[in-house]
A and B are shown apart, each in its own frame.
Chain A
Amino acid sequence: MAAVTQAPPARPASAPARARRGRLPAWRWAILAVAGIYFLLPLYAALRFAGIKAYGSVFSRTGFTDALWLSVRLAIVTTLITLALMVPTTVYVHLRLPRLRRLLEGITILPIVIPPVVLIVGVLQVAPGSLKATPWLLALEYVILAMPFAYRAIDTGLRALDVKTLTEAAGSLGAGWGATLWRVILPNLRTAMLSATVLIIALVLGEFTMASLDLYETFPVWIVQFDQTDAATSVAASLGALFVTWIVLMLITWAGTRQARRTGGGEVTLFTVARTDTPTGS
C-alpha cells in the first residue's frame, strides 16, 4: 500500500535542501537500513517461499481474471464517484462555508474510526436487495472508506491555492461558476486529484473485509481463498499484486510530478507503507 502526501511548493528552500541531501548523517542511514530490512525482509521471504514456478501458475488459476477485472472496475468506479462528490463539496466548503471545514474534517475521519466490519454489517442490514445483488454496492462502500484520504488530498491541494482570489479573478473576467471550476480550479487541483486517485486505487485493490463479508470475489478475496490450499500461489499472487500496484502508483506519481513541475504546483510524493488489511499471504 502506498500513502501520498502533497507537498506545498517550496522553491526557495529547495537549493539548501538539495545540498543537505548529499551528506546524510550516519544515524539517518541506520534508521533507513533498519526500516528497509523491516519492509524488505518479509518480501524476500515470500519470494523465496513461493518459488518461481508459482508465479507462472497464478494466471492459469480459475477465477484470476474475473477477480482482477472486478477489482479494477471497482477501483475505477470508486475513484470516479469519490472525485465527483468530494471535489465540488470541498471547493464549496472552502469558498462559502470555511467555518464548516473543521466539521467536515471530523466527518471525513469517521470511516477510519469505525471498523469496516461495523460499517458493512450496518450497510447489509439496510441496503435494498437489488443493490445487494450487484458489486456496485461495494463501490459505494469504498467511496465511504476512501473519503478520508480523498478529502485530505483535495483539501491540501485547495490550501496551496488561493481559491477565493482565483475564483474572484475569474469572475471579474466574466467566467461563470462552470467555467471557473472547469478552467481554473480543476486544472490547478490536478495534482491533488491524482494524489486522491492513487490512494483510492491502492485502497480498493487491497480491501478485504468488506468484499469478503459482501460475498464478492475481488482480487484480495481470491488470494485469501488459495491461502488454505495452495499457499505458494497465494503468496505469489500477493507479491505480483503488490508489484503491479506499485508500478501503477509510480506511473501516476511520475505523471503528476511532471505536471506540477511545469506549472509550479504541488508535488505528488509517494512513500510505500504496509497496511495491515492487505493480504500478502499469511
Chain B
Amino acid sequence: MATDATHDAAPARISGAAGQSPAPAAGAREGAAVSLRGLSRSFGQVRALDGMSLDIAPGELVALLGPSGCGKTTALRIVAGFEAADAGQVLISGKDVSGIPAARRDMGMVFQSYSLFPNMTALDNVAFGLRMRKVGGERRKQRAAELLELVGLAAQARQHPHQLSGGQQQRVALARALAIEPRVLLLDEPLSALDAQVRVQLREQIRALQQRLGTTTLFVTHDQEEALSMADRVGVMRAGRLEQVAEPPVLYSRPATAFVAEFVGTMNRVPGELAAGGARVTALGATVAAHDGHEAAPGPVDVLVRPEGLSVTAAGDGNAIVTARTFRGAVTRVTVLISGQAEARIDVPSAEAAAMPPGATVQVTLPAAPVLVAPRRAASDAPALA
C-alpha cells in the first residue's frame, strides 16, 4: 500500500506559522503530533476500519477523503473518543489515548450538523469549554469574545443559535472548538450543510485560522475540491483503508491506485497495449512511457489520462467522433468516442473547440509524458456510457 509513500514530505511552512501569528492569545498552542496505528473497527458484519494507519505532523491539516461508508468518519470519531477501536492505537504527542474519555482528550470538534447549544448565546457557547475547565467568569468572557472576534462574529455574541445563519453557526462552533486550545482540531464535514458560496468562503477562513494558530487538524470530507484546496495532505480512503496519503498536487498527478485516480478529479480510460516488461504502453497509435508502480500485466490495459492531458485536433481521418461539447469559459469540454468504444472527456481551449461540433471526426493523441496504466476494466465494471 502507498500509505506512507509521501508521508515524510510534511510541509515546512508549519514551523513559521504558530509563532508569528498576529493574535497568539486566542487559541494558539503548539500543535500535537497525531498517530493512528492499525485502527480497526467493525459494526456487526461491516468492517468500517480495516487496519488504518496515518501520521499527522504537528500543525498539519490532513483531510480524509472518500465515498460515504469508507470509514473516514469512524476514524475521526475514534480519535475524538466517541468510538473505541477494536484494535489499534491513537497516539497524541506519542502517548496512547485509547483509555481516555472524550471529555479529557482536549480535542476541539466541529460537527456536520449544527451542534451549538440552543439555550446559550453565541458567547456562552464559545465559553462553555472554558467553564468546564473552571476558567473564571471575567477571563472566560474575555477569551470567548476574542475567539468570536477571530471568526468575525463579535457583533453576534449575544444572539442565540436560531438567530444565526448556518455559516455563522459553524463559525461559532469553530470558535467554541478553538477556545479550549485543543491539542487537535477535528472537523467532521463541517461545511457540507452550507450553501456553495458560504462553503468556499468558510473553507478559506478555516484554513487561514488553522495555519495562524498552528493547530494539528484532521478534516473529514467527501468533497474532493474541499480536501484538495484546504489540506496539507489528503488521505483517500476506501473500504476502511487508506489508499494513498499525499499532498494534493501529487494526489492529482501521481495517484497510487486506479481508485484514487478516478475518485480525485476526472479521469479518462483509453484502451492500450502494455509491452512486455511493463515500461511502455501503446495507445491511440502512439507508444509512450508508463509510470512505474502499476499493477497491470503486459497485454490489454487501460491508460488513465486527465481531460487536460489528451490533445485533440479536427481531422477528417481521425480516430474519434465528437459526441458532446460543453462550454466552460476559457476551456470547452469535448466528449469524444474513440474507435467506437471508449468515451473520453477532453478540455480544449474554447477558441479551438469551435471547429469541433458534435459529429465531427477528430484525432485524439496521448501526451508525450509518462502515463498511468491500470488493468483493463471489464465492460461490466465500466460506468454506463452516455
Show the binding face of A for B, using Cβ within 8 Å.
Answer: 9, 11, 161-162, 165-166, 168-176, 179, 183-184, 187-188, 190, 262-265
Nearest 3 CB-CB pairs, A to B?
A: A264-B162, A173-B129, A174-B132
Is B228 engaged at the interface, CB distance under 8 Å to the other chain?
no
Cα distance, A262 to B128, chains bound together (Å):
19
Q: Are B111 and A165 in contact (CB-based, < 8 A)?
A: yes
Per-position binary interface string of chain B over residues 120-137, scored 1 when its CB falls under 8 Å from any chain A CB and 0 otherwise: 000000001100110000
Cα distance, A162 to B176, chains bound together (Å):
18
With A9-B162, A162-B113 already in contact, the answer to whether A173 and B118 are too (CB < 8 A) is no
Is B20 engaged at the interface, CB distance under 8 Å to the other chain?
no
Q: Which of B80, B115, B160 has the most CB of A within 10 A?
A: B115
A246 to chain B, nearest CB (A): 29
Cα distance, A171 to B101, chains bound together (Å):
9
Q: Are B107 and A262 in contact (CB-based, < 8 A)?
A: no
Residue ID in chain B nearest A168 by CB atoms? B82
Q: Are B119 and A187 in contact (CB-based, < 8 A)?
A: yes
Q: Which of A169, A172, A262, A264 has the most CB of B within 10 A?
A: A172
Q: Are A11 and B162 in contact (CB-based, < 8 A)?
A: yes
Cα distance, A150 to B136, chains bound together (Å):
38
Cα distance, A65 to B106, chains bound together (Å):
58
On chain B, the residues within 8 Å of A171 by CB distance are 81-82, 101-103
Show the binding face of B for A, using Cβ within 8 Å.
Answer: 80-82, 101-109, 111, 113-119, 128-129, 132-133, 160-163, 173, 176-177, 180, 186
B293 to chain A, nearest CB (A): 40
Q: Which of B114, B119, B160 has the most CB of A within 10 A?
A: B119
B272 to chain A, nearest CB (A): 49
On chain A, the residues within 8 Å of B128 by CB distance are 170, 173, 175, 183
Partner pick for B111 among A9, A168, A175, CB 8 A cutoff: A168
Q: A11-B162, A190-B119 are in contact. List 20 more A-B contacts (CB 8 A).
A: A162-B115, A165-B111, A165-B113, A166-B115, A168-B109, A168-B111, A169-B117, A169-B176, A171-B82, A171-B103, A172-B102, A172-B103, A174-B106, A174-B129, A174-B133, A175-B128, A188-B119, A263-B119, A264-B160, A264-B162
Residue ID in chain A nearest B186 by CB atoms? A172
Can you show 10 pairs from A to B with CB atoms below 8 A apart?
Answer: A168-B111, A169-B176, A170-B117, A174-B103, A183-B128, A184-B119, A188-B117, A264-B162, A265-B118, A265-B119
Q: Are B132 and A172 in contact (CB-based, < 8 A)?
A: no
Cα distance, A265 to B176, chains bound together (Å):
21
On chain B, the residues within 8 Å of A187 by CB distance are 117, 119
Q: Are A169 and B111 in contact (CB-based, < 8 A)?
A: yes
On chain B, the residues within 8 Å of A170 by CB distance are 117, 128
On chain A, the residues within 8 Å of B186 by CB distance are 172
Cα distance, A84 to B161, chains bound together (Å):
28
B108 to chain A, nearest CB (A): 7
Partner pick for A264 among B82, B163, B176, CB 8 A cutoff: B163
A134 to chain B, nearest CB (A): 38
Cα distance, A125 to B320, chains bound together (Å):
91
Residue ID in chain A nearest B109 by CB atoms? A172
Cα distance, A179 to B119, chains bound together (Å):
14
Residue ID in chain B nearest A259 by CB atoms? B119
On chain B, the residues within 8 Å of A176 by CB distance are 103
Cα distance, A168 to B117, chains bound together (Å):
11
Q: Are B132 and A188 in contact (CB-based, < 8 A)?
A: no
A223 to chain B, nearest CB (A): 41
Cα distance, A11 to B104, chains bound together (Å):
37
On chain A, the residues within 8 Å of B107 by CB distance are 172
On chain B, the residues within 8 Å of A9 by CB distance are 162
B113 to chain A, nearest CB (A): 5
Residue ID in chain A nearest B77 by CB atoms? A168
On chain B, the residues within 8 Å of A169 by CB distance are 109, 111, 115-117, 173, 176
Cα distance, A262 to B119, chains bound together (Å):
8
Cα distance, A187 to B163, chains bound together (Å):
18
On chain A, the residues within 8 Å of B180 by CB distance are 173-174
Q: Which of B113, B132, B176, B180 has the most CB of A within 10 A?
A: B132
B126 to chain A, nearest CB (A): 10
Q: Are A172 and B163 in contact (CB-based, < 8 A)?
A: no
On chain B, the residues within 8 Å of A184 by CB distance are 117, 119
On chain A, the residues within 8 Å of B103 by CB distance are 171-176
On chain B, the residues within 8 Å of A172 by CB distance are 80-81, 102-103, 105, 107-109, 177, 186
Q: Are B109 and A175 in contact (CB-based, < 8 A)?
A: no
B5 to chain A, nearest CB (A): 32
Q: Are B132 and A173 in contact (CB-based, < 8 A)?
A: yes
Q: Are B104 and A174 in contact (CB-based, < 8 A)?
A: yes
Cα distance, A247 to B330, chains bound together (Å):
71
B321 to chain A, nearest CB (A): 49
A256 to chain B, nearest CB (A): 13
B165 to chain A, nearest CB (A): 13
Q: Are B160 and A263 in contact (CB-based, < 8 A)?
A: yes
Cα distance, A188 to B104, chains bound together (Å):
24
On chain A, the residues within 8 Å of B102 by CB distance are 168, 171-172
A173 to chain B, nearest CB (A): 4
On chain A, the residues within 8 Å of B114 by CB distance are 162
Q: Are B161 and A264 in contact (CB-based, < 8 A)?
A: yes
Cα distance, A187 to B125, chains bound together (Å):
13
Cα distance, A184 to B129, chains bound together (Å):
12
B220 to chain A, nearest CB (A): 14
Cα distance, A170 to B180, chains bound together (Å):
12
A199 to chain B, nearest CB (A): 22
On chain B, the residues within 8 Å of A166 by CB distance are 115, 117
Cα distance, A260 to B282, chains bound together (Å):
70
On chain A, the residues within 8 Å of B115 by CB distance are 162, 165-166, 168-169
Q: Are A264 and B104 in contact (CB-based, < 8 A)?
A: no
On chain B, the residues within 8 Å of A190 by CB distance are 119
Residue ID in chain B nearest A169 by CB atoms? B115
On chain A, the residues within 8 Å of B129 by CB distance are 173-174
Cα distance, A9 to B162, chains bound together (Å):
10
